[in-house]
């Protein structure tokens, strides 16, 4: 009997329990978004759903098929807000748009989770326990993104999976995953900097050009080339106009709220990118796997903290970078304190762990969520710069 009981309970290992937990996240987030009503923003006519982002993505597909302007201010009879993704993403979203909303939304959230889960599981150099801990620590941020039916979990997963593929020298798939993020969120293209660390650069560049061209031109099969060019011009105009709207939960927002310093967003992001690239001066260090994966962490954090449109659901990209950093670095007291700070004030700051008065009165106006990630980002840069030995 004990042997049979042990066998029957064998599925209750940590991996299976975590798979079950992520499945519950998908079902719970999708059901909650589909069922719950939201308060219509002032001046905005209904309908506005809890899964408004999914509705935007869905209708962008049909707008593409119908030859409509994807980047019109908004379609009040369909959704609220703007479509801010590429024509390629609009075409891709046909995989979900034709289903009833309850099913399409669930499948969309499931794709996000599957890619992210697979990406963490595929990471080399980590023990099984460490991978499971990263997935466990990521649960609140994954749930936050899923509840808003956003693409951040997918973007994080594609970049991490691209890195894992690069480590395995699967350049064809690695470049596909990284380039795909560019057609979802434009800053994803920066992840191509990871190609510097691997041999076969000519092959990687050729694959990159192939995927960029293919994914760019695919919508022309529906729209034709001239309308597609018009769509990309409209896309560029939308991004340019969107640049001046907000500071987000970012370095720019932090500087403004803490010190009253208004800084140009593009310039600040560029300076942050240049600072992030300082360790590349010591290029030989990146023959070591630990340094390569630490740079991946650095990149994932940069994509959020220097993004003027960063919001709470975006932070799964940054915190996945933080967790990857922690489990690839020495477990010093400083690093453990930084991890605890990220978990408490970034990952959990948007949850009911903190009273609404603190969230609305302190965390939001002072963009507290970004501060621990800034500290980790600086720490990783310092760790990647060789220190001269004192004789």
Q: pLDDT digits over 54-69, tens only?
A: 989 999 999 998 888 8
Per the CB < 8 A criterion, the answer to whether 189 and 182 are in contact is yes
Q: Which of these, 92, 61, 87, 95, lies nearest to 75 by C-alpha position?
A: 61
Q: Is the pTM of this model over 0.75?
A: yes
State how far Cα 391 lies from the chain centre: 44
**284 touches 385 (CB < 8 A):** no
- Return d(Cα 167, Cα 163) in angstroms, integer: 6
Full pLDDT tens readout for the chain, 391 residues? 455 545 544 556 888 899 999 999 999 999 988 887 665 666 656 666 778 899 899 999 999 988 888 888 767 777 777 888 999 999 999 999 999 999 999 999 999 999 999 999 999 989 999 999 999 999 999 999 999 999 999 999 999 999 999 999 999 999 999 999 999 988 899 999 999 999 989 999 999 999 999 999 999 988 888 888 988 988 888 887 776 657 888 899 899 899 888 888 888 999 999 999 999 998 888 889 999 999 999 999 999 999 988 899 999 999 999 999 999 998 899 999 999 999 999 999 888 888 888 888 888 889 999 999 999 999 999 999 886 554 4
What pLDDT is stored for residue 391 in this prediction? 41
Name the nearest CA neighbour of 34 among 82, 99, 113.
99
- What pLDDT is recorded for position 259? 87
* Token code pair at residue 374: 């800034």
pLDDT value of position 35? 85
Q: How far apart are CA 193 and CA 162, in angstroms?
A: 12
Q: How many residues does the chain have?
A: 391
Q: How far apart are CA 76 and CA 47, in angstroms?
A: 8
Rounded to a whole number, what is the distance in angstroms from the first to the last CA of the chain?
A: 67
Whole-number Å distance between alpha carbons of 382 and 276: 10
Residue 314: which of 338, 350, 284 has the closest Cα? 350
Question: What is the spatial distance between Cα 349 and Cα 342, in angstroms, rounded to a whole number?
Answer: 9
Three-state secondary structure call for residue 65:
helix
Q: Which two tokens stand for residue 384?
A: 């990647």
């Amino acid at each position: 009997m004990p042997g049979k009981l042990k066998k029957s309970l064998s599925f209750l290992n940590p991996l299976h329990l975590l798979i079950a937990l992520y499945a519950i996240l998908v079902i719970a987030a999708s059901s909650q978004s589909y069922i719950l009503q939201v308060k219509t923003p002032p001046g905005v006519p209904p309908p506005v759903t809890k899964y408004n982002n999914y509705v935007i993505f869905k209708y962008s597909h049909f707008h593409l098929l119908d030859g409509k302007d994807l980047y019109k201010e908004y379609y009040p009879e369909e959704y609220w807000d703007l479509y801010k993704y590429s024509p390629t993403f609009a075409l891709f979203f046909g995989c979900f748009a034709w289903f009833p909303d309850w099913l399409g939304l669930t499948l969309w959230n499931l794709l996000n989770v599957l890619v992210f889960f697979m990406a963490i599981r595929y990471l080399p150099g980590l023990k099984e326990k460490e991978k499971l801990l990263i997935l466990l620590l990521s649960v609140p941020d994954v749930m936050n993104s899923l509840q808003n039916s956003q693409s951040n979990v997918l973007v994080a997963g594609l970049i991490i999976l691209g890195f894992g593929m690069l480590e395995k020298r699967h350049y064809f798939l690695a470049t596909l995953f990284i380039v795909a993020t560019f057609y979802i969120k434009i800053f994803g293209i920066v992840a191509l900097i990871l190609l510097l660390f691997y041999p076969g650069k000519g092959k990687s560049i050729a694959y990159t050009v192939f995927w960029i061209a293919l994914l760019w031109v695919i919508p022309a099969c529906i729209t034709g080339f001239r309308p597609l060019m018009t769509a990309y011009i409209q896309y560029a105009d939308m991004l340019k106009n969107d640049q001046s709207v907000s500071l987000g939960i970012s370095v720019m927002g932090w500087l403004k709220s803490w010190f009253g310093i208004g800084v140009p967003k593009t310039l600040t992001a560029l300076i942050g990118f240049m600072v992030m690239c300082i360790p590349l001066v010591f290029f030989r260090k990146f023959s070591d796997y630990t340094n390569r994966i630490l740079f991946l962490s650095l990149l994932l954090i940069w994509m959020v903290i220097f993004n003027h449109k960063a919001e709470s659901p975006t932070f799964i990209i940054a915190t996945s970078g933080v967790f990857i950093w922690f489990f690839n670095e020495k477990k010093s007291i400083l690093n453990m304190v930084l991890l605890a700070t990220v978990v408490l004030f970034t990952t959990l700051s948007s949850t009911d762990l903190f009273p609404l008065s603190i969230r609305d009165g302190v965390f939001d106006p002072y963009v507290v969520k970004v501060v621990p990630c800034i500290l980790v980002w600086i720490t990783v840069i310092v760790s990647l710069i060789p220190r001269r030995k004192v004789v």
